[in-house]
Structure 1
Amino acid sequence: METSSTSDADPKTPAPKLISSTYRRPSSSRTIYGDRFIPSRSSSNFDLFNLPSSNANASPDESHSAYTYLLKSALFGPECVGGINGFQPSTPEKSAYGGRFGSRSSDGNFLQISPPNCNIFKYKTETRKSLHSLLPFEFDDQLPGGVSHSPVKAPRKVPRSPYKVLDAPALQDDFYLNLVDWSSPNVLAVGLGNCVYLWHASSSKVVKLCDLGIDDSVCSVGWAQRGTQLAVGTSNGKLQLWDASQCKRIRTMEGHRLRVGAIAWSSSMLSSGSRDKSILQRDIRAQGDYVSKLNGHKSEVCGLKWSYDNRELASGGNDNRLFVWNQHSTQPLLKYCEHTAAVKAIAWSPHLHGLLASGGGTADRCIRFWNTTTNSHLNCVDTGSQVCNLVWSKNVNELVSTHGYSQNQIIVWRYPTMSKLATLTGHTYRVLYLAISPDGQTIVTGAGDETLRFWNVFPSPKSQNTQSEIGASSLGRSQIR
């Protein structure tokens, strides 16, 4: 349970004293100054600055007015002050302190000085950022890596219909499995029953990679970060490594006692999570089945993701826990227990180091954000439905979530405001599977309704204002096998 506390000031504590420093003139024969000079509003001596008045025979009041004008003009610009007793600059110029009416503050907002004859210490803040932008991770919604000073743009339109639908017979309706993944060479791997199929996005060609036989079934698939190596987790607790370009099995690794439902790659390191509650770290260059075993979860491991810098591994389990490990730990370094249902949905931000998103199951329904660098909980959003998957856009600071009970929807969010850009519907079962294309524009979703649906949701890397229409001409319904 999250609690908040406030501290009130002690009423017995004496009020702080304000200390001012002014100059003193003890005698008419000699002038003594303090260590610093702060002019008085009411009676600043213009002669102290050896500045001439606009009139050689000016009275002290007129000299004071001229000094006041020069001081305000230097601070705020002559056009903001106006003439004082006829004392005017010969050529009005823009202030060197931020232009005509003010300057931009460090957070990108405009601080405007009030018009003349108003309290000069008043200012107006104009902002388009929400309270969420005050979190440790603050940057523009659309530009990963920097703050934008551009005006607010109209919300980007996201097509509400998939541009392609594929039949996927025997695609299992099981929350704890991960049966869809998209490779960097643009090939989609799908586990259907006891077989793995490859769909080549460039040609729409379908290839059957493997058949595990009637005594086994596919529980997870995961592409290496680069190349054509595909890991296949099985219901018998084994992990097979395949060369997809040659449709050839390279090796089979053991170590788990029960099904392998989660896979995550980190360069040559391959992590696998199992129903036996353990995570195995495997170096595919070594001869052994695994190099270390991670213990911590009290139930099935159903979510695994390495951070983009390959330094941190996040794991989620049916024990409602989210753990963070490093490359050398065998016990979790960070433990997050706020979720109240299974944690399958995990996504690291590609834009900010240490920013992690996680989603909970039916009894939780929340997406939570974490700063693993400071070990802090940043935000929580109740989505209203079971959170099955999360993926972050590489092109803009947005993310997609897929959901199960009870709405079976797909939501595109803008971070950090977490405003909804689009809600996509069409699946009639829980949207249990999600993958993103290598160019970062398209997502594919899979559900127990035995369909795969392709959606254009993100802009291209080069132009964030033009929605990709790749594949839009190939509307229709085909079968993956």
Structure 2
Amino acid sequence: MSGFPENPFMNNTPSSSPSKSVDGNRVLKRPLGNNSSSSLLSSPSRRARTSGSVIYGDRFIPNRTSIDLNSMKSIGNTASVPTLIPSVTEDQVELQRERQSRETFDTVLKNELFGEKLLRDAIGKESSIDRIKNTKPAIPCYQSAAATASVEYEEDMPTTPPDSDERPQSAPVTPRRALPQGPEESYRPSSNSMRGASLLTYRERTGTRPSTTSILQSHFFDSASPVRPESKQLLLSPGKKFRQIAKIPYRVLDAPSLADDFYYDLIDWSSTDVLAVALGKSIFLTDNNTGDVIHLCDTENGFTSLRWVGAGSHLAVGQTDGLVEIYDVIKRKCIRTLSGHMDRVACLTWNNHILSSGSRDRSILHRDVRAPDSFFERIETHSQEVCGLKWNPETNKLASGGNDNVVHVYDGTIKTPMFSFNEHTAAVKAMAWSPHKRGVLATGGGTADRKLKVWNTITGSKLCDVDTGSQVCNMVWSNNTDEIVTSHGYSRYNLTVWDYQTMDPVAILKGHSFRVLHMTLSADGTTVVSGAGDETLRYWKIFGKVKAKTNPNSIIFSSLNQIR
């Protein structure tokens, strides 16, 4: 057993409620004390307002008595809002959420300030919210700041030439500082029907304090909303729904002695929902339906690669001495040993009854498991170790990647490649065929390259090229959605979900502390298991299940299916 217990995997999944202690009491997150520093972290209490002081949040909302010109300029000009630029280090979903929240905030704030004027100039049944969304931002021009707090509004001057008959739509109004007309005018409150909403109005100070009855009436019996009806409708309307991807794995298992070698491929998920893992000199099978862990075999040499046959009944295993063994998982014994390689077997791939293997001896061997010979074809097109190998059974095409930075595409078992791609500048181990588009291949380069490239193997052209910012160690192409999952090494140690249509990072999954070298996809296409040099296996729920297609209720189609 090579020093392993019967079940080497230890469940190390984090608790769903880490804020609770063992005895059920919630852990205090704020220190208690009487000094000033601890009191700031304690429960909030009402503090007396200081005359003339203003507490600002992340955004400044001007009031009627002191208008900050810079803030008004930023409110009037949408172009001044910082642009959120997508990056390979940020989730596209999170960026879209933040962008939507910023747009909603700006729209509501502009409507509260300029809503009455926009409604007055509205054409037809267009609301002030629609006017704000459909109007291009204009840079406001302000007059001298030496004026008082009374604010008036004027329309922007038309930009249409004098000889033009068309009149441009009015843009958001420009606030203009005006001189006071009297000693009482500067302290006169603005009403809802004149300037802005009740949220931004103020009242004169009176000598008498309002009674409790009047306060209750204002709170419970006043039907006036603190914001305009259009703003309230925008805030209550459902926003755009974004895809929910869990950022933490739902299951974490300890995997002692899981090799931290870029050229190894030590985990694979079968079509019968059994996960095979090579730990040191032993191989274990984990049945995800029952949770049972089965010890399959041991070896004196180390395991370097493994791959399930399509039916999930047999497992091919590569070793450091160049031998390839085939195990019957039902009988739990080796039924065949195949020779031919002179060095370690770094990659294995099946095409029905054809098993292909790539080795550090720079060769690719094609083996027919029905024939008595160990192999029937040897291909030597790479100048260094073959570390990536993937069959596409639908098109009968084979792709190979090597430590010589070259990607070859073969038509079946023919020795001469159809296409050779030399654009990578590092070893190519990560490879995946698209299950959605015929002949589309994705490849990923190592530390010196860091590129994710997609090729059309029918025409030999490159479709896209993305800099991932980190070493690409492995990848899978989702069967349920048109998305690619890549695992990374130096120096990000994460998983990235890419939308193939836009090549934007949909989600970035962090958790591993070493290179994520091993990765595989579940049989139903919903879960990705990643293995890293930190000796852990992490289960990520990324994709949803494919909806069952309903058969057409047609006599013609049903008869055609019966004929076929």
**TM-score after normalising by structure 1:** 0.64
User: Are 1:202 and 2:289 counterparts?
Assistant: yes
Distance of 2:495 and 2:487 partners within structure 1: 5
Other-structure match for 2:248: 161
Other-structure match for 1:333: 418
| Runs of 4 or more consecutive aligned structure 1 residues displaced over 2 Å after TM superposition | 152-155
Structure 1 counterpart of 2:500, one-letter code: Y
Distance of 2:374 and 2:490 partners within structure 1: 38
Change (3 A) 1:366 1:212: same
Distance of 2:284 and 2:402 partners within structure 1: 27
User: 2:460 pairs with 366, 375, 399, which one?
Assistant: 375
Deviation at 1:439, TM superposition (A): 0.1
Q: What's the CA shift string for 1:352-387, capped at 9, x where partnerless?
A: 111000000000000000000011011100000000
Deviation at 1:217, TM superposition (A): 0.6
Aligned alpha-carbon RMSD (Å)? 1.4
Q: What's the CA shift string for 1:412-438, capped at 9, x where partnerless?
A: 111120111110000000000000000
Deviation at 1:246, TM superposition (A): 1.5
Structure 2 counterpart of 1:395, one-letter code: N
More helix by share: 2
CA contact (8 A) 1:323 1:335 kept: yes
CA contact (8 A) 1:178 1:262 kept: yes
CA contact (8 A) 2:366 2:413 kept: no
CA contact (8 A) 1:306 1:314 kept: yes
User: 2:432 pairs with 317, 341, 347, which one?
Assistant: 347
Other-structure match for 1:143: none
User: Are 1:263 and 2:348 counterparts?
Assistant: yes
Distance of 1:421 and 1:156 partners within structure 2: 9
Structure 2 counterpart of 1:203, one-letter code: T
User: Are 1:305 and 2:396 counterparts?
Assistant: no
Deviation at 1:194, TM superposition (A): 1.1
- What SS does the aligned partner of 1:184 have? coil
Distance of 1:153 and 1:351 partners within structure 2: 27
Deviation at 1:225, TM superposition (A): 1.1
Q: What's the CA shift string for 1:235-269, capped at 9, x where partnerless?
A: 00000000112211110000000000100000000
Other-structure match for 1:179: 266
User: 1:418 pairs with 503, 528, 535, which one?
Assistant: 503
CA contact (8 A) 1:299 1:317 kept: yes
The answer for unaligned runs of 5 or more in structure 1 is: 1-151, 465-481
Once the two structures are superposed, the pairs formed by residues 195-274 of structure 1 within 5 Å of their partners are 195-213=282-300, 216-274=301-359
Deviation at 1:153, TM superposition (A): 6.8
CA contact (8 A) 2:282 2:298 kept: yes
Deviation at 1:170, TM superposition (A): 0.5
Structure 1 counterpart of 2:389, one-letter code: L
Deviation at 1:155, TM superposition (A): 3.3
Once the two structures are superposed, the pairs formed by residues 76-475 of structure 1 within 5 Å of their partners are 154-213=241-300, 216-309=301-394, 311-462=396-547
Structure 2 counterpart of 1:199, one-letter code: T
Structure 2 counterpart of 1:201, one-letter code: N
Once the two structures are superposed, the pairs formed by residues 40-79 of structure 1 within 5 Å of their partners are none
The number of residues matched between the two structures is 311
CA contact (8 A) 1:156 1:421 kept: no
Structure 2 counterpart of 1:344, one-letter code: K
Bigger radius of gyration: 2
Change (3 A) 1:153 1:282: farther
Distance of 1:317 and 1:256 partners within structure 2: 16
CA contact (8 A) 1:155 1:421 kept: no
Distance of 2:241 and 2:444 partners within structure 1: 29
Distance of 1:153 and 1:388 partners within structure 2: 34
Deviation at 1:308, TM superposition (A): 4.0
Change (3 A) 1:320 1:230: same
**TM-score after normalising by structure 2:** 0.54
Distance of 1:220 and 1:196 partners within structure 2: 11
- What SS does the aligned partner of 1:459 have? coil
More strand by share: 1
The answer for unaligned runs of 5 or more in structure 2 is: 1-238, 550-564
- What SS does the aligned partner of 2:317 have? strand
Percent of residue pairs bearing the same amino acid type: 50
Change (3 A) 1:262 1:153: farther
Structure 2 counterpart of 1:185, one-letter code: T
Distance of 1:153 and 1:353 partners within structure 2: 33
Distance of 2:262 and 2:454 partners within structure 1: 21
Deviation at 1:328, TM superposition (A): 3.3
Distance of 2:311 and 2:510 partners within structure 1: 32
Distance of 1:364 and 1:187 partners within structure 2: 34
Which of the pair has the greater relative contact order for Cα pairs under 8 Å at 6+ separation?
1
Deviation at 1:195, TM superposition (A): 1.0
Distance of 1:245 and 1:337 partners within structure 2: 43
Structure 1 counterpart of 2:274, one-letter code: V
